[in-house]
Amino acid sequence: MRGFWSGAFVLPLAGGGEQEAHHSILHGVLLLLGPFKEMVPQPSRQPDLLLNTLFVLGVVFALVFVVVRRFQRIPTGSLQNLFEMVVEGLNDFFFNIVGERGKKYIPFFGSFFIYILLMNMLGLVPGFQAPTADLNTTLGFGLISVIAANLIGLREAGLKAYLKHFWGEPTWLGPLMCPLHIVGEFAKILSLTVRLFGNVFGEETVIFVLAGLSPVILLGSLEVPFIPLQLPMMLFAVFTGTVQALIFSVLSAVYTAQFLEEHHEEHH
């Protein structure tokens, strides 16, 4: 898909057939593991999902290590200036959503944004794949987001107020409102999961199809020039990938802020 030129992904354009597994350049790591590679989860469509995910995590750790190792009280390097600008920008942005009571949880939402953004962008690098184009990844993020919002709400509001949130107002409508609130929490997980997966997977599919429309591939001859028809879509994917990462992290912050706001109103 985004990494179509080094993968083995096959997209049937005619009716019928199933999508075959496609691999990234990290697939060699699995081969080095020998018999132990079976211990690594390998989804059927994207066997290197875990490797690509860990690669992004490694990039994040490496960047943080470099910046912290050369940290200066008065920054002179462009990398530290960029790092501080991103951190301060995210802090100010999410503070406007969660307020003073949720300030200590801002690093969680900021990490969501950076991690998902890098995952989205990884698919634009030749030979790699975007982990967020797999439903396993986005489902995991959706579960973490909603469960974390509930745990934060339980911690900040207390058990009584937390249960009252689900029971709703007025009290006599509780038997009706409580099941609806519970279903709503599952709906949040589904919404976060499908939105992120659908957008990333969709744009990857478009990029793959556009790349296949190049004359060198349609004619099967290297004598004709390769025209990167997918390039405009790849540039657009940079924008949409950033937007999707922002939407996911903002919704996670909003879900948390709902618990914090109700707890705040209850004490005033």
What is the rounded (10 degree) CA torsion for 201, 205, 207, 213?
Answer: 180
11: which residues sit within 8 A by CB, 6+ positions away? 19, 205, 208, 209, 212
- Residue 42 backbone dihedrals phi, psi, to 5 degrees: -135, 90
Residue 225: the pLDDT is 73
CB of 41 within 8 A of CB of 50? yes
The Cα 56–Cα 79 span in angstroms is 18
Residue 10 has pLDDT above 50, yes or no: no
Provide Rg for the chain, Cα atoms: 22
Element (H, E) at 41: none
For 44, the 3-state DSSP assignment is coil
pLDDT of residue 172: 80
Residue 10, classed as helix, strand or coil, is coil
C-alpha–C-alpha distance, residues 34 and 45, integer Å: 21
- What b/e string do you get for 25-54 counting C-beta neighbours within 10 Å, with b at 16 or more? bbbebbeeeeeeeeeeebeebbbbbbbbbe
Rounded CA separation 235/233 (Å) = 5
> Between these two residues, 213 and 17, which has the higher pLDDT value?
213
pLDDT score of 200: 93
Per-domain residue ranges of the chain:
4-266
Q: Which residue has tokens 């490496």?
A: 62
pLDDT, position 212? 79
Distance (Å, rounded) from C-alpha 98 to C-alpha 259?
A: 10
With contact defined as beta carbons under 8 Å apart, do 152 and 181 qualify?
A: no
Residue 118 · residue 55 · CB < 8 Å = no
Residue 1 has pLDDT above 60, yes or no: no
Q: What is the pLDDT of residue 84?
A: 85
Distance (Å, whole) CA 63 – CA 66: 5
Highest mean pLDDT among 43-57, 77-91, 149-163, 189-203: 189-203
Q: Which residues have CB under 8 Å from 167's CB, separation 6+?
A: 174, 177, 178
Name the pTM for this structure.
0.82
